[in-house]
A and B are shown apart, each in its own frame.
Chain A
Amino acid sequence: QTVVTQEPSFSVSPGGTVTLTCGLRSGSVSTNYYPSWYQQTPGQPPRTLVYSTDSRSSGVPDRFSGSILGNKAALTITGAQADDECDYYCVLYMGGGIWVFGGGTKLTVL
């Protein structure tokens, strides 16, 4: 069973920079998994932030950027704002039509 790992929670100061990661319990995340990142506020559906590792979705500010850091996918938020406080999910495409989401990271801005 494939397990995608994310930090359960993270804190960042307003104006600060935070990097959330997305890993595999067994193995390394590479661009071949097409990591994508989604932002979800309470009661709302997810919103696409980044896809194919580092491509920003339309309308997403350039404060959000994606990359591969070591053996994980990463989402970096610079100049954190109060309304960045919400949940962030990554998903990996495993091939063969199968997707696996990470458990999500609850980001606090304080």
Chain B
Amino acid sequence: EVQLVESGGGLVKPGGSLRLSCATSGFIFTSYNMNWVRQAPGKGLEWVSSISSSSAYIYYADSVKGRFTISRDNAKNSLYLQMDSLGAEDTAVYFCVKYAGGAVPGSGDVYFDHWGQGTLVTVSS
């Protein structure tokens, strides 16, 4: 059974930093592109960032480019999101999301097949 377990959320002051982690199991982590998707309270889903299986290809939404850094540790089957220069607009539940199609986006079945439960990030003074 695929499991994605996020951690690291919490309350942070504007301008601060936070690092999210996603521990995975139940699939061959080294074979799949992984993503972060967020959802502000009462709002819709927003794709944040994507990283290919080998970390060779990394993509960001314009709203976080230059402030967030996605990374992965294939030895630990873990995904990370380093968030810097946080603002109130970054307050959201952050979901760790597995890509169905394989190593890079656009390959194989093009969709998100497994989601974690999410971790809440609150940016407030």
Given A103-B44, A104-B44, A104-B45, A52:B50 Cβ within 8 A: no
Contacts of A57 in B (CB 8 A): 113
B8 interfacial by beta-carbon distance below 8 Å? no
A46 interfacial by beta-carbon distance below 8 Å? yes
Contacts of A70 in B (CB 8 A): none
Question: How far apart are the CA atoms of A57 and B110 in the complex, in Å?
Answer: 12
Interface code B84-97, partner A: CB below 8 Å = 1, 0 otherwise? 00000000000100
Instruction: Assess the B109–A89 pair: CB atoms within 8 A.
Output: no
Instruction: Assess the B50–A97 pair: CB atoms within 8 A.
Output: yes
Instruction: Assess the A36–B105 pair: CB atoms within 8 A.
Output: no
Instruction: Assess the B112–A91 pair: CB atoms within 8 A.
Output: yes
B: number of interface residues (CB 8 Å):
26
Restricting to A94-110, which residues have a CB under 8 Å from any CB of B? 95-104
The bracket for how many chain A residues form the interface is 20 to 34
Closest to A100 in B: B47
Given A45-B118, A96-B59, A97-B57, A51:B47 Cβ within 8 A: no
Instruction: Assess the B57–A48 pair: CB atoms within 8 A.
Output: no
B27 interfacial by beta-carbon distance below 8 Å? no
Question: How far apart are the CA atoms of A71 and B57 in the complex, in Å?
Answer: 31
Instruction: Assess the A45–B111 pair: CB atoms within 8 A.
Output: no
Instruction: Assess the A51–B115 pair: CB atoms within 8 A.
Output: no
Instruction: Assess the A93–B115 pair: CB atoms within 8 A.
Output: no
Per a CB cutoff under 8 Å, which of B37, B106, B115 touches A95?
B106
B62 interfacial by beta-carbon distance below 8 Å? yes
Restricting to B26-70, which residues have a CB under 8 Å from any CB of A? 35, 37, 44-47, 50, 57-59, 61-62
Interface code B111-125, partner A: CB below 8 Å = 1, 0 otherwise? 111011110000000
CB distance from B77 to the nearest CB of A (A): 19
